[in-house]
């Protein structure tokens, strides 16, 4: 069994090794191929991962390469965690929208829009390599914005893809913690898109939780008091990312006051992380890595690979084509919803009707996402302009023209399709 990790220089890679070690009996891996375009980061990570794997008792061959085709050749799973332009580009995604009076965030609004335009062409290159070098492999994606990337993969390729995010499963862990139950006994309906979802109809061992138990789960989410009020009214728990919609004016003020953008904070932190990783004395995750965040992604990835490899029916939350799940969205619209995972694929499960209050918001953002995926592939500037104009966090044609021009100029080196 072979696993490839594309973008292995990412600081998330050790988390995946940790989860693979926990599941070494269920996932009998012989080879892990690490690939990145940054040779310095790649070799630092590969060296650490060899020490870490030995420490964890994960007996696998670990190779590193700058050649994507070599990494993917013969793989069973191709884990993708790339950041086109790195955190230097992320700075523009966060700062330029804020300067124009809009939310500056890496996956939400104009920032996520630009990240998708940069990333989708590279993801499609990876998909093409899979079709050529490992046609039976699954692409396990947790590159953001994963919902839009998944839309492009499903619309423009024929590969098998699991587009994941820890956020979809976070309420299983919140429920388990709040009610003292096993997370594997928790299931629920979840409606929406990546970073724009609503959890409702929570059940433990098939039985609906009570209002009091729902409130206990809600207290574990870390949501603002106002968003908790909304959750009680809707009887559904919103994703934490909905703060950018429901507290838009407040969030803009807060973001503008911050001395550093999140990208600048991460850039500083990653200098510390990679200095630690280069130190041969470290055989476990250094404290600097624990400060990076992003926990949960590796757990979801390992769970998905295990379910597919062992053909074990596993409940999860994945970004998949809508089909007939929600009648008011297009058939091919990728949604984030509850699924059953096994060797035969990932199938959306039937759900109770979602809260009426959120149908419109989800439909608007889905419209934006589908236009963005199309623009990223075709390089059509008018389609890109329509996508950005119709994002609910923009909704202004004049402002969208200015935003698009500034963002495209800042990222021109990573947007060859628009030339």
- pLDDT tens for residues 68-108? 999 999 999 999 999 999 999 999 999 999 999 999 999 99
- pLDDT tens for residues 222-263? 999 999 999 999 999 999 999 999 999 999 999 999 999 999
Alpha-carbon distance of 116 to 253, in angstroms, equals 25
Handedness of CA 138, 143, 146, 148 (dihedral sign): negative
Structure tokens at 373: 């995926």
Domain residue limits, the chain = 2-162+261-299
Q: Tell me, what's the pLDDT at 294?
A: 67
Q: How many CB atoms lie within 10 A of CB 1?
A: 14
- pLDDT tens for residues 354-406? 999 999 999 999 999 999 999 999 999 999 999 999 999 999 999 999 999 99
* Average pLDDT value over all residues in the chain: 96
Matching CATH number, 2-162+261-299, of 3.40.50.1360, 3.40.50.720, 3.50.30.30, 3.30.930.10: 3.40.50.720
Per-residue pLDDT, averaged over 7-17, amounts to 95
- pLDDT tens for residues 289-300? 888 876 789 999
Answer whether 63's CB lies under 8 Å from 34's CB. yes
Tell me 107's DSSP state: S
Who contacts 128 (Cβ-Cβ below 8 Å, separation ≥6)?
157
414 catalytic per annotation: no
- pTM, full prediction: 0.96
Which of 241, 245, 331, 397 is labelled catalytic?
241
Of 238, 235, 228, 402, the C-alpha closest to 336 is: 238
Q: Is the pLDDT at 181 greater than 80, yes or no?
A: yes
């Amino acid at each position: 069994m072979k696993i490839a990790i594309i973008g292995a220089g990412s600081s998330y890679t050790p988390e995946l090794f940790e989860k693979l070690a926990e599941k070494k009996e269920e996932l009998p891996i012989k080879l892990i191929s690490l690939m990145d375009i940054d040779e310095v980061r790649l070799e630092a990570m590969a060296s650490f991962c060899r020490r870490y794997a030995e420490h964890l008792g994960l007996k696998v061959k670990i190779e590193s390469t700058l050649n994507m085709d070599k990494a993917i050749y013969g793989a069973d799973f191709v884990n993708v965690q790339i950041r086109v332009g790195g955190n230097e580009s992320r700075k523009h995604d966060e700062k330029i929208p804020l300067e124009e009076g809009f939310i500056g965030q890496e996956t939400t609004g104009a920032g996520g829009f630009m990240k998708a335009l940069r990333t989708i062409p590279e993801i499609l290159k990876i998909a093409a390599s899979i079709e050529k070098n490992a046609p039976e492999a699954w692409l396990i994606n947790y590159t953001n914005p994963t919902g839009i990337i998944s839309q492009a993969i499903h619309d423009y390729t024929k590969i098998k893809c699991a587009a994941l995010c820890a956020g979809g499963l976070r309420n299983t862990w919140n429920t388990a913690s709040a009610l003292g139950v096993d997370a594997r006994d928790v299931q629920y309906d979840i409606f929406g898109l990546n970073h724009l979802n609503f959890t409702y109809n929570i059940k433990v061992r098939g039985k609906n939780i009570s209002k009091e138990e729902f409130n206990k789960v809600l207290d574990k989410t870390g949501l603002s008091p106002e968003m908790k009020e909304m959750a009680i009214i809707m009887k559904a728990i919103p994703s934490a990312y909905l703060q950018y919609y429901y507290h838009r004016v407040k969030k803009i003020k807060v973001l503008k006051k911050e001395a550093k953008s999140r990208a600048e904070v991460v850039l500083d932190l990653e200098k510390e992380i990679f200095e630690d990783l280069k130190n041969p004395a470290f055989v476990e995750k250094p404290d600097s890595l624990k400060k990076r965040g992003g926990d949960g992604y590796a757990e979801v990835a390992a769970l998905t690979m295990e379910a597919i490899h062992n053909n074990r029916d596993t409940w999860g939350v994945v970004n998949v084509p809508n089909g007939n799940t929600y009648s008011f969205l297009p058939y091919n619209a990728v949604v984030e919803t509850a699924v059953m995972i096994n060797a035969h694929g990932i199938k959306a499960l039937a759900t109770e009707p979602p809260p009426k209050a959120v149908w419109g918001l989800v439909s608007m953002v889905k419209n934006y996402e589908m236009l963005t995926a199309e623009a990223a592939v075709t390089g059509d500037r008018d389609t890109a302009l329509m996508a950005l104009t119709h994002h609910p966090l923009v909704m202004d044609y004049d402002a969208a023209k200015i935003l698009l021009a500034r963002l495209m100029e800042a990222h021109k080196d990573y947007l060859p399709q628009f030339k």
